[in-house]
Amino acid sequence: MSTPLNFVYFMPDSLRADVLGCYGHPLVQTPNYDRLAREGTLFEHTICQYPVCGPSRSSMITGLYPHNTSCRTNQYFIQPPQGNLFTSLKQAGYHIEWHGKNDMFSPEVFPEAVTRCNQQPPEIAERPSYDVHQGERIVPIGEPGGRSHLCKPLGTVEDFGDTHRVNSALSWLKSREADAKPFALYLPLEMPHSPFTAPEPFYSMYDPADLPPLRPYDLPGKPRRLSLLRKYFELDQVSDDMLRKINAVYLGMVSYTDMLLGRILDGLEEQGLLESTVVVALSDHGEYGGDLGMVTKTGGSHDDMLNRVPFIWRGPGISAGHRVEEPNELFDLMATTLDLCNIPCTHPHFARSLNPQLAGAAGDPKRAVFCEGALGAVNRHLCGPGTLEGAILEDPDNFYYPPYKCIYDHPEVDARTVSIQTLSHKLVHRPQDESELYDLRQDPRELRNRFNDPEMADIQQQLMQRLTDWLIETSDITPDIMFPRQGPKKVWD
């Protein structure tokens, strides 16, 4: 295009795809996501590369898998000289504007990848500001439901941190000069991340009695790790009514996020930028939200609620009302953006450009997509003293004490996991726990585990072979720095 494209990446945290109206939820109100879907292209089956914030974002921005980036926890992020989307855009002349949380770059990467980062807008210091971790539990710890992450309503819409972040981004949009550089505006928000709370009217927007049925928690064939985690969260002590209330509040958080998306779209329109800007709505991973009797997310689980995220693109030249059924990977964001801008990618990666799909084509029906999870025994030291996990283990009141305590007591819960998904099937391989196999055509909600079912033997063998081939093909990448073959002639102590 003669005029460079602008980009807005609207990325709430923990937003699963199936809780949006445009992805088929029968109750939730998400008019702005639905608008994007009508005016742009929606990808039905976008799979993240790791169902935890930091590892997922590190893959998303580089086009690499977690076993390439070595980012498997929220303590290890992208370091220089690893190439990434924002560094490539900035080197090509883009202004990179950032409003929200990190969970992606080490401090050394920010100067080369980001023009302006505003994680704490001035409004947060000037008036009350709330985030979900300030929520007050519905019932205290020690009573049934005390560790469920369900909290009371909190603050007002205008006092919530994500509102401040979006308003700050809108102020920046209004202050831009007409001849300013093309921009990429990155909005990594907090909601609808657990704990489950929201300002009114969103907190009470949905009646639990009106919700569609949750996935049951007593399904045969599910991995032992799930029942252990439920026990440590004490979710085996809560009623089905509380699980439905959790889901209802989560949906309210989703609608709050949709409201913020509407503010961004209105702001772009007011500034005359909407028709020169590609808006991408996505998330880093999903959330149980009461399904399978669970809350939050966990690195070793690969359920659809955690792995499948929204991926909707709207902008110049992008087909309106187009839906792509075939699977793709979240890290395709990197390759697709650079392809749209005609900017060459100079670092190795495994992402694919989805430009043909944005122009109206179908996806690749033979494509398999992959997700990884958990630390594994080799990284056991990361859960010890001096680490984020170690600090959480010393604080039983922390919302995330239960999963870390579970992993500490049962290391097998954090054993390495990998999954492969095609248009028709999904296999989750757990060498140290129950593996899973689902026929997605007959069982899209993944309720019947068919692993080691004789009727599925051929499919299981084929998927295991593809997993092996993929791991060999992507097992490593060469460093960006080359070293001289000749060492120093002398070495002094």
Q: What is the pLDDT of residues 117-171, one digit of tens each?
A: 986 667 666 777 899 999 999 999 999 999 999 999 999 999 999 999 999 999 9
Average pLDDT, the chain: 94
Q: What is the CATH number of the domain that holds 148?
A: 3.40.720.10
Q: DSSP code of 360? A: T
Q: If we measure between CA atoms, which residue out of 414, 420, 422, 435 comes closest to residue 65? A: 420
pLDDT at 125: 67
Residues 266, 196, 77: CA angle, nearest 5 degrees: 75
For the chain, counts of helices (H) and of strands (E)? 15, 15
Asked if residue 480 is part of any domain, the answer here is no
Separation CA 79–CA 83 (nearest Å)? 9
Asked if residue 32 is part of any domain, the answer here is yes
Confidence of residue 380 (pLDDT cuts 50, 70, 90): low
pLDDT at 118: 81
Asked if residue 234 is part of any domain, the answer here is yes
Per-residue pLDDT tens digits for 78-128: 999 999 999 999 999 999 999 999 999 999 999 999 999 986 667 666 777
Dihedral pair phi/psi, residue 209, rounded to 5°: -70, -20
Q: What is the DSSP string of 141-209?
A: TTSTTTTS-BB---S-GGGBHHHHHHHHHHHHHHH--TTPPPEEEEEE--TTPSSB---TTTTTSS-GG
Confidence of residue 2 (pLDDT cuts 50, 70, 90): low
Asked if residue 433 is part of any domain, the answer here is no
Separation CA 47–CA 331 (nearest Å)? 9
Asked if residue 450 is part of any domain, the answer here is no
**Burial bucket for residue 428 (CB in 10 Å: 0-12, 13-18, 19+):** buried
pLDDT at 124: 64
Give the residue numbers spanning the domain of 229.
6-362
Share of the chain above pLDDT 70, in %: 96
User: Long-range contacts for 382-389 (Cβ within 8 Å, ≥24 apart)?
Assistant: 382/73, 382/75, 383/407, 383/408, 383/414, 387/75, 388/73, 388/74, 388/75, 389/73
Distances (CA, A) of 358 to 261, 333, 353: 21, 12, 10
Per-residue pLDDT tens digits for 462-473: 999 999 999 999
CB 87 within 8 A of CB 409: no
Asked if residue 286 is part of any domain, the answer here is yes
Asked if residue 253 is part of any domain, the answer here is yes
Separation CA 130–CA 276 (nearest Å)? 34
pLDDT at 121: 67
pLDDT at 487: 80
Q: What total of structural domains would you count in the chain?
A: 1
Asked if residue 144 is part of any domain, the answer here is yes
